[in-house]
Chain A
Amino acid sequence: MRTPRLLRPLPLAVAIATVVARAHADSGVGVDTWRANKLDPTGGATIDGCDERGTSWLEAGVHRSPTGNLYACPPPPPVTAGHGEWRTSGVLSIGAVATGGDDGNALWNRYVDWDGGIVLALLAFDAERAADGTYASVRASRVSDDDEYYQAVFGRAGSYKVQAFLRDMPNLVTNTAKPIWNGVGTDHLTLPAGYAAGASSPAAIAALSAATPERTLGVTREKQGLGFSVYLTPQWTAYANATDEQRHGARPFGGPFFFNFPFPDNGGVLETVKPIDDSTVNLEGGFRYAGRVWRMDFGYSGSFYRDRYTRYTYETPFALSPLVPNAVSAPLTTGQFATEPDNDYHNLKAAFTRKLPMNGELSITASGGRMSQDDTLIPPVACQGVFGIGLDGSLQTGPQNPYLYDCANWNTPAALSRKSADMRIDTSLLDARIVLQPATDLTVRGGLRYEREDYRNVYLAYNPLTGQYGYVSENGSQGSVVPGESGIWDPSDPSAITRVRSLPLDMQTTEANIGADWKLGARDTLGATLAFSRYEPTHRERSTVDDGSLKLSWTNRALDWLTLRANVTFLHQDGDRYDYDPYDFTYSIDLPGFVAPPTGVPAHTVDALRKYDVSSRNERKLDFMATFMPREDMTVSASLRGDWSDYDAELGRQGYDTLGATVQWEWQPAPGSNASVYYAYDRSKLRMANINEINDSGSNPSIGGNTYVDIGRWWADDTQRNHNAGVVFAHAFGRVRVDASWNYLYARGTTDYRFASPLALAWADTVIGDGPGGGTFAPMTYRIDSLSIGVRIPLHERVALRVFDVYERGRISDWHYLGFDATHAFDHRVYTDGGPQSYDANLVGLLLDVRL
């Protein structure tokens, strides 16, 4: 249940109300300090306009960053009014917006909730008392109930600062959902009256899906926070911040009941709707010291996640049938999913920085953390009666039906080896960095880093009620279709292979780097960095993975109007022997009493496969940037970057290359007048290869053996191309400001594939013939044109009228969602989400800006 808005900050307020006594503001800490929304992403900057006096009283004209880019025009100082010792200023921007066209489209409404009607674009009010530096400010904006923020800050400069905020943000996932279930947004999805769980026909469910009206699914994030900082002495600062974010809503999710494509009128592929109702509290606090020689930071941070639901259940519409003749499947009606477990995170950090001779600095940071979760575990299944297959044609458990199981032994927490998760990961970190400047033109730097993640517990899937091991797969459905594939191992079925243990993935990382920057006179700077990293994971294909890299950089300012920067990086990753199957101990293979099948233990995977994160690879990166200044008020910049990675892998990721280029022209002829044109292009290509197992009981892990026969090989190239362009224009015609922009985004992804034979594919029936083949999936395209224009007309010394219009056109093509025109249900496959849609939408608004 949602807490009334006015009461939401109360728990946090109580939590920290006692700490604000005496104090000082530390500008280095804060609580989500940036508040904005889609109506005004700048958080009020567009109202402020531009100070025609420019950036600095020291020098006229536009100013540039060290890399040569023009700074934006600063906003004018606020108009203040005096009230005794206090001076106040503020702005109220209020008006109305209206949307048209496809304004229900999820992409158009992705992170905004355009209700239409009256909107509070911005209320900002600031008060200052110069005598002692006391200040207070409030900011607020409201587009709709689910899209708003309110913030209040008060404090005294050089003394203390207290801030509080409340923010609601929508996140619309889809507007084309057709969930066939009742109870969307709750933890129990049921089929409508007249549709029997486990006994409905595909035709009836297809008709139900077709008749279900489209609806939106999304999540609203409600966040509130409080924070304060205080100067205990001129050097010591104490700070504390707390936030609480609650999410409410629902989103499309999975719902497995075994394969359907290879088994018509069997199995079940269900896209269900997961309820979202959780809360995350983040806390941080500590002390900072900033002296002339030393800086120190002692801090705690913590995060606490709580989900209203431990699991959610859903009714499955379809019956299952066994693949063996004369057998029967138990009717299954209910599936389940665990939600994210409640979990806690604690971290303590101490950081020390000391100035050194030679304009140097040494920093050492040590931290230790603990991530833990001890949420209640859910039973393996949610069924009633029996599940599995009755080989003798009956649903009576007993020796005659070894693959038929009593739900009562598996649908209770008593079926678990322990009742709660009791899992923990401890983290530790030691980081040291040093910088020295032995000469005015030479800077040297180095760093060492040591980091560990230690898993402190494992879970063994053992059922004390039955003495069996394993976790029932896919809600019992797999074992109700294929005899013996229920996911359960016991001594009476000693050759069953199933997962029985969790996988701890401890990691130790050691890194070292050394580098130098050398100024070759006033025009050129050269840099070099040599870095080495060693990753030592447990239970992975390699126990040691080494990265070595050399980065060279060059900056040139030989010409006043041109800055050139270039970086090139060479990286080589290698490691110790690659063990293609380090996971045996997590399977029943490792249990005492396991008996290998007569044909041997099936290969877990193919031995030529290399997982890309631990694979050997060579990588080269190149970045080239040029900034031209043809005039004092004009900048042209261009960049080119490439990244080429080759993986030593016959199977798996073989290569990943990216190439990008940008060009931009920017002109600021006068304060408040600017124009720019930009274009960016990038492309990436991912090359991969793999092999299908032709004989899934084969024990030979090598290509060409009895499992991975050559005719099962396939290759795929995934190519992505993105174009991004835009034109921005703003100018003041007298007192009337006009701004306009056009932005264009076009993304196109294609997947090319080839295969040695149709047996390389998951569903070979789609291919005609039996020889090698290949093809290309239909391109996935995403094209958005966005045009906006606004006019700001001063009506009075303190009042201005803003009129604006935003038109957006989206053209989306995603083959995953083709064929959903009539229904989202096909055979035993039921999809909820209809996918992203093309749209034409418009927003028009009228705002009155009043300076208070």
Chain B
Amino acid sequence: MTAIERLRRFLFATALAGIPLAHAGNGPVDLRAIDAVHGDAAAGKAKASVCSACHGPLGIAIVPTFPNLAGQKAEYLYWRLVMFKRAGKPESPMTAQAANLDDASMRDLAAYFASLPPAAGTAGTGTMPGAAIYRDGDPAAGVPPCQGCHGADARGRAGADGDPRLRVYPMLRGQHAAYIAQRIKDLAADASPFTSTSHVMAPIARTLDAASVDAIAHWLEAGAP
């Protein structure tokens, strides 16, 4: 075999082997092109009894460190369950709960909680400190407006009703402030977010200081705007 022939064989062999490039490693789960999540809400209700212990019988959590699930987007709920099932941290109570759920059950649960009426919240006003950050962000600190993804009324991203791809951004209106604050803190510390939406939110969470997080969380809990 000539040197040229050896070189040619080497080039073609390596080219066809498709050696992965370093940057083509495992990234976040891409939720940008997902299909709608369909589930049986009635079946989900039957499976939700264990959930109610923390999230309340109607999806409104009594303990404020647990999130309200009522009225949340089904796509968001489903992919949160997928995350707990595939990559949940051992210390999270949800990890063990999700471990035994099959895909259909996760879809049913998501459909059920999405069908419930959301928490009304208390009376929020536009003059609360969190209102301005939610609406305008804080350009000096690199904080974008929250409403860009979560909607001007905090009920989810604009256009979500007609596009399942936009329903992976959660409704925040009426959510417990303590849960929101903890969730933002967790996102800020998450070095390898599981989904593309967490991948977007994680660096934003890092730009928020404690006072801003507190202001936003309390304003959302109040049911603003």
Contacts and interface: CB of A to CB of B under 8 A. Distances in A.
A850 to B, nearest CB: 13
Contact of B140 (A53, A234, A734): A234
B32 A57 contact: yes
A735 B23 contact: no
A734 B22 contact: no
A6 interface: no
Nearest to B193: A57
Contacts of A734: 15-16, 18
A296 interface: no
B19 A735 contact: yes
Give the secondary structure class of B's interface: helix
B11 A797 contact: no
Nearest to A735: B18
B149 A801 contact: no
Give the secondary structure class of A's interface: loop
B191 interface: no
Interface string A774-807: 0000000000000000000111111001000000
Contacts of B199: 57
B15 A794 contact: yes
A295 B19 CA distance: 52
B222 to A, nearest CB: 27
B14 A796 contact: yes
B1 interface: no
A251 to B, nearest CB: 46
Given A53-B30, A793-B15, A796-B14, A58 B200 contact: yes
A801 B33 contact: no
A53 B27 contact: yes
A667 to B, nearest CB: 19
Contacts of B210: none
Contacts of A234: 140
Interface in A21-63: 52-54, 57-61
Contacts, number: 54
B165 A60 contact: yes
A79 interface: yes
A79 B20 CA distance: 13
A76 interface: yes
A77 interface: yes
B144 to A, nearest CB: 11
A726 B31 CA distance: 37
Contact of A797 (B22, B140, B196): B22
Contacts of B200: 57-58
B123 to A, nearest CB: 28
Interface residues of B, number: 22
Interface residues of A, number: 24
A797 B19 contact: yes
B23 A79 contact: yes
Contacts of A76: 23
B23 A77 contact: yes
Given A53-B27, A77-B23, A793 B14 contact: yes
B9 to A, nearest CB: 13
A465 interface: no
Interface in A514-557: none
Contacts of B24: 52
Contacts of A796: 14, 19
B21 A794 contact: yes
Contacts of B15: 734-736, 793-795
Contacts of A801: 11
B49 to A, nearest CB: 36
Contacts of B30: 53, 60
B22 A58 contact: no
B217 to A, nearest CB: 23
A234 B196 CA distance: 33
Interface centre among A52, A794, A798 (most CB of B within 10 A): A794
Contact of A59 (B11, B16, B18, B32): B32
Nearest to B197: A57
A58 B19 contact: no
A851 B21 CA distance: 10
Interface centre among B14, B24, B200 (most CB of A within 10 A): B14
B146 to A, nearest CB: 14
A79 B32 CA distance: 24
A798 B14 contact: no
Interface centre among A52, A53, A851 (most CB of B within 10 A): A53
A665 to B, nearest CB: 25
A736 B19 CA distance: 11
A793 B30 CA distance: 28
B115 to A, nearest CB: 27
A282 B22 CA distance: 44
A794 B11 contact: no
Interface centre among A54, A57, A735, A801 (most CB of B within 10 A): A57
A794 B23 CA distance: 13
A61 B33 contact: yes
A797 B197 CA distance: 29
A795 B21 CA distance: 10
Interface string B165-203: 100000000000000000000000000000011011000
Interface in B25-55: 27, 30, 32-33
Contact of A795 (B14, B22, B33, B140): B14
A79 B22 CA distance: 7
Interface in A784-833: 793-798, 801
Nearest to A851: B22
Contacts of A53: 27, 30
A54 B196 CA distance: 12
Contacts of B16: 734
A234 B140 CA distance: 9
A57 B165 CA distance: 12
A58 B14 contact: no
Contact of B21 (A57, A59, A797): A797
Nearest to A77: B23
A58 B30 CA distance: 10
Given A53-B27, A58-B200, A736-B15, A798 B32 contact: no
Contacts of B27: 53
Interface in A746-785: none
A734 B21 CA distance: 12
Contact of A58 (B11, B23, B140, B149): B149
B165 to A, nearest CB: 7
Contacts of A58: 32, 149, 200
A200 to B, nearest CB: 59
Contacts of A77: 23
A766 B138 CA distance: 78
30 contacts: A52-B24, A53-B27, A54-B32, A57-B32, A57-B197, A59-B32, A59-B165, A60-B32, A60-B33, A60-B165, A61-B32, A77-B23, A78-B23, A79-B21, A79-B22, A734-B15, A734-B16, A734-B18, A735-B21, A736-B15, A793-B11, A793-B14, A795-B14, A795-B15, A796-B14, A797-B20, A797-B21, A797-B22, A798-B22, A851-B22
Given A794-B19, A796-B19, 5 more contacts: A53-B30, A59-B165, A734-B18, A794-B15, A794-B21
A-B pairs, 3 with minimum CB distance: A60-B32, A60-B33, A793-B15
Interface of A: 52-54, 57-61, 76-79, 234, 734-736, 793-798, 801, 851
